[in-house]
Structures are given as C-alpha cells and as structure tokens.
Amino acid sequence: MRQVHRAALTVGLVGLLAGCGLTGPDDRADTVTPPPDASPTSSGGATAPPDEVVSVERELHEARVRFDLRPVEADGDLAVLRYAYTAEPAGDDSLGSGTVPLSLGGLGKSVTDGRGVRLVDTAAQLVHPVAQAADGTPAAELDQERGDDDTLTGSAVAVFAAPAGESVDVLLPGYGAVTVPVVAAGDDFDAALEQTGGAGTGATTELRAFTQGYDAESATSAEDDDVTVTLASDVLFDSDEDTLSRSARGVVERAAASIVEQADAGDVHVVGHTDDVDTDAYNQALSERRARSVAERLRADLGGDFTVTEEGRGESEPVAEGRSAEARAANRRVEIHFQGHLVVDTSAESEAPGTDAPTARDAAVTIETGKGEYTVEVESVQRRPGALVGTLVAERTDGTGIDPAWFLPAHLTMLGDRKFGALAEVAGPHNLSLLGARERVLPFDYVAEERTGGFVLRRLLGDEEVGTLDQGQRATITVYWPDTGQDTVTVDAPERFRITDVPVTDPAS
C-alpha cells in the first residue's frame, strides 16, 4: 500500500461570491463538453478520453463558473482527482467575497457541512471521501487567484481511495455530479501526492438504501447484501407488553411477504430493542420476549424454507440520541435481518398517498413558506448503475431574510430511523423521496461516525445542506436514490411539493 507521510493541507474554494444561487432553467443547466471522440462508459453518459477533460459550466447569480475535470488517475490503492475552474461575472456586478458551498475538506468527519467533494461508484455501491493524512487533515490542496478583469481562477488536487471501475462520478456539492474516466496514473502522480502534503490510506464506505412505508409501520434498509426490515414496537405491542395484537400480526405477515420477495438465503434473524425507560435488566428481558413473539409469527408465515432465530438487545443499540418521546419511540423497535436485496414495489395498480402540497406534472412548482415564495423544478433524473441521480433547481422569487427550512419542513424529524446531525436535519433534502407503490424511496446515505453507546451518525449522498436564499437567488440540489427501475418517477418533498411523471434519462441523452 502506498504511504506518504507529510501532512495534508485543509483548504476550500473561497471568494467566488456571496451565497450559492444558480440561474434559471435555460442558462443554469450543466454543460458537459466531451471532445468529439468521447464514448459511453460503464456509469452511463459521455466522458473524455484519458488525456482529455470533462467540462461543466453553471451560471451562478453573480458569476459563470466552469470546471474542467481531468480523469481520475489510479495507482495501487490511491487515486488523484485534479480540476481547474474559472469564475467570471455573469452581469454588471462584481464577484462577491463569500464562499461557494464546495470544499475538498471535511470528509470522513462527523460534521455534516454539505461541502465535501466525493467520488461515487454506484456500480460498487461505494462512496470515496477525500483521503486523510497521518495527522487527520484532508489530503487536498487548492490554489486560487483573482485577475485584473474580476475573474477568479483556481486549480485543485485531491487524493482518494482508488475506484475499481472504468469510470466514477465526481460529486460537486452545489454543482451536481459529473462522470469521468478512471485511468492509470501518469508520470506526475507522485508529484500530485506530494503537492497535497501526502496521503495515507484512502477510505471507502458502503452506501445504504432506505425505504419508509407509507403507513409508517415498517422501514427497509439495504447495505451491501444485508437487508433489515424494521418494525416499530409501538405498532406491534402495547406499552410493556410482548403479545402481538391482531393488527400487529398483519404487520408481521406483510413483513414475511417482503422477506420472501427480497431474501437470497433462508436464514432470518429477529432482534428486539427497547428504549432506556426502566432498568437494563427489565429492558433486556422485554426485548427478548418481543423478539420471540415476532419470530414465532414469522415461522408460521414463512414456512419451512426459512430458519428464524431471535435475540434481544435491550436498550444497548439506540438509533436516536436523547431522551425525548420521539427518540425513545424510534428506539423501541424489532429488526428483521436477512441476506438479500432491496425490492421496491412500483406496480401501477397502487397509488401514492394524497398530498395538499403544490403538484405539477414534470414542471416547476411554486411553494410558499410563510417567509417567502420559491419555485422548484426537477432539472433531470439520470440513471447510473444501481442508482438514480436527481438534480433539482430552486429559486426564491419573493421575500428576504433567513428561512433555513424552506426546502423541506424539518421539525428535526427524519423519515425513518436515520440520523444526520442537527444542521443537516434542519436544512437538508434528506426526506426528498421517490414514490413507490407502498413506500417512499429515500436518498442513499452512509456511515460517518460510530459513537459510543451504539449510536451511528450518517451522511447523505448528495447536497447535505440547502442554504438560505435571498430574492432572485437560486440553488442546485443533487441527491442519489436507489434505482427503482422506473422510466418515469414522482419526486415528493413531504408537505412542500410533488412533481410527477419526471422522465429518467441516460446521461448522454
């Protein structure tokens, strides 16, 4: 394994403009400019030959910014990403002095600042954060200068774990996702490592797919080939009880049908969990009894093709921190674990739940928050191997001032038992869903930090923070969803908007 021992620099892209808005639908669209002999790659879409670049141009409200990304160069376990950028005024105003929401630092940390550049390998279901040097700082460097003509130019170098495929997505928060080739390292690879201050071992993290049932009685997650169906104990049992009601038996029966559809093997393991009310010993015993009740019902519903085992873990593995009623309710649950794959029901005979939110058919919607008015449209939903990449563009058309939860009403509540940190949960697109027949399909996430007490902090694969906009400013929001296999999708932001019949396209189309 290649090791470089000098410390890396922690840097970010600064000085482009105040805010993070992007322009209207015709001007703001990505311009991906491959050379004439570009060809499709395994991730879909056109990319440049190994010695060329992929160019992406977006117009922000004060500047037009162009990124020129070189192919990712891999050597052994490490890879180097290099790109240049230019920003120039889009109108009469000079470039501001704020910070564009794009940074090479901060990845692999518990802080969810929404500004981390990442490599995304959807075929392998992996995300690659910037590698960390021996002192824990990101192995990345950026040079930037302002020209006499009020333009900004810069170049960036960052080190990652080497992707396994022939191409990989570069996720540029605030600007979207771009597919580039992965090529063998050139002669200046070692110099690039030294330029960043050196890198140790690059990290990779598995992506987790997550769905939440419309009835809130169950959720399903899949990480690699490990599938977990989570049933809320409050749906299954009365307080302090371990006997399934008649309606609860129906919940377990539907879970059994889901297991038959999704399981690759015949082993099913049931785990009971409780909140932290009462003693450890009491909670341990209650979790065991509840797991046993669910396991016995599953054995009856699954038949002889499956081996069902059970255990209780009491209050030892919370999915939500704190002692609020909401946290304790999330921690009271029964999990059903098996090897398999996530299956989303998209049958046409089932209908998504109704909504009072503004709705449009593959068009922009207008929403009001009480503090302002916004338009939102889905710019594209592009298919990658195993994933759909959604890019939305929003503009504040009326009102000024702080409106942190304008994109999704947060209420510090996530759909499903997921945790991303307070900032992301106030201002992130984590509940932005695709609608199936029986469940919401939520964006991919992955583990950022495992804390003491069994709590796991996660990061969203996409833009983790949608910042406050002033009137006339625009923002681009990108998220990765599991591929539902649909030709058209419905994008739903709970309580905010719904956009139906959005076509799923190949990146080259």
User: Per-residue pLDDT tens for 421-456?
Assistant: 776 777 789 999 999 988 999 999 999 888 776 677
Q: What is the pLDDT of residues 102-147, one digit of tens each?
A: 454 443 333 333 457 899 999 999 999 888 776 777 888 878 787 7
**Residue 208 to residue 220: CA distance in whole angstroms:** 10
- Structural contact between residues 165 and 43, judged by C-beta atoms closer than 8 angstroms: yes
Residue predicted with more confidence, 365 or 102: 365
Written as six digits, the tokens of 239 are 């307080």
- Measured distance CA(463)–CA(316) in Å, rounded: 32
Q: C-alpha 81: how far from its chain's center?
A: 21
Query: Tens of pLDDT along 249-301?
Result: 999 999 999 999 999 878 999 999 999 999 999 999 999 999 999 999 999 99
> Please, which pLDDT band fits residue 322 given cuts at 50, 70 and 90?
confident
Mean pLDDT for the chain?
81
- The pLDDT of residue 34 is 40
Pairwise CA distance, residues 149 & 191, whole Å? 32
pLDDT band at 90 (very low <50, low <70, confident <90, very high): low
Per DSSP, 452 falls in state G
Strand ranges, E, within 103-258: 118-121, 126-128, 140-146, 152-161, 167-172, 176-184, 205-206, 208-213, 218-223, 226-232
Q: What is the DSSP letter of 392?
A: E
359-505 architecture in CATH?
Sandwich (2.60)
Three-state DSSP class for 181? Answer: strand
Distances in Å between the alpha carbon of 14 and those of 58, 99, 141, 328, 472? 17, 5, 13, 41, 22
Q: Is 189 helix (H, G, I), strand (E, B) or coil?
A: helix
How many Å apart are CA 146 and CA 16, to the nearest integer?
A: 9
CATH class assigned to 226-340: alpha beta
Q: Which of 476, 478, 474, 477 is nearest to 21 (CA)?
A: 474
Q: Say what the pLDDT of residue 166 is.
A: 94
Give CATH 2.60.40 domain extents, the chain. 359-505
CATH 3.30.1330.60 location in the chain:
226-340
> What is the pTM assigned to this prediction?
0.83
Query: Residue 21 — pLDDT band, cuts 50, 70, 90?
Result: very low
The partner residues of 78 in beta bridges, in order of sequence, read 75, 161
**Least confident residue range of 46-60, 295-309, 406-420, 464-478:** 46-60
For the cut 80, the answer to whether the pLDDT of residue 319 exceeds it is yes
- The pLDDT assigned to 91 comes to 65
Q: What is the reported pLDDT for 137? A: 79
210-247 residue pLDDT tens: 999 888 789 999 998 999 999 999 999 998 999 998 88
Asked if 105 contacts 117 with a C-beta cutoff of 8 angstroms, the reply is: no
